[in-house]
Amino acid sequence: MNIKQYLDSTYLKTAEQAGISEEKNNLVAQEFIQEAIEEHFKLIMIRPEMVSLAKKMITEANSLVQIGTVIDFPEGTSLLEDKIQEALHAIQDGADDLDFVCNYMAFKNGEIDLVKEEILRCTQLGLAHNKVVKWIIEVAALTEKEIIQLSSLIKNVIVSNFEQELFPKVFVKSSTGFYKTENNLPNGATIPAIMMMLENASPLPVKAAGGVRTYEEAVAMIELGVKRIGTSGAKMIANGQNSNNEY
């Protein structure tokens, strides 16, 4: 299976998180962008401040690689208007995909109307600009019941407010890859979590992000039904090697 068109090659660390200088971190991001171009991956997922650079590099290379970025990353607790402004800036810089971190803490606290409004307005913004929108639900922070409920909530907002032909452009995504778990429990996509998402988000597509580190794991996710996979080890996975990257 040629899995490259499922892979969103991902580099989302700040210099502080990577333990390196800003200059070095920028170089690492550039290496990821260049690799995505050379390997013909579906998309390069990069921090918002790197989108304009990615756009320049991809345009100069006459490449078809798309650009994704994260919004309100990684906590998802910002005010709605701040999320919208960050998304608008990313659109202006040339992003194709907008991966919003859903305010899952508000959801867990029962602030359902707040979450519905966020999903509706941010999705409206993305689709109005012909972008792909993904909603990161952070499965490691949720119980199984909450994974089911939040996947269903996102599905219901989209199905109730948008035309059917737009459903393939709105994803439910498993993880940021940055959530800190206790006792080294998985903080990304797991088979049980993805199965719950697929069952309850349908007809919306699902992106498995975080924790997919081998070709076999990627194929298993695709065979389950995911349409995209986020990984910082895209080249190794595509070449059948195991990635030891954190995300």
Q: Which of 131, 134, 173, 235 is catalytic?
A: 173
Nearest to 50 by CA among 99, 93, 21, 101: 93
Place of tokens 């993904």: 134
The whole-number pLDDT of residue 182 equals: 82
Summarize pLDDT for 2-40 with one digit per residue, the tens.
899 999 999 999 999 999 999 999 999 999 999 999 999
Residue 194 to residue 219: CA distance in whole angstroms: 13
- Tell me whether residue 24 is one of the annotated catalytic residues: no
The stretch 56-66 carries a mean pLDDT of: 98
- Tell me whether residue 99 is one of the annotated catalytic residues: yes
Provide the percentage of residues in the chain whose pLDDT is more than 70.
98
Statement: residue 131 has pLDDT above 70: yes
Global pTM? Answer: 0.96
Q: Which of 8, 13, 99, 155 is catalytic?
A: 99
- Tell me whether residue 55 is one of the annotated catalytic residues: no
The answer to whether 151 and 114 have CB atoms below 8 angstroms apart is: no
- Mean of per-residue pLDDT scores for the chain: 95
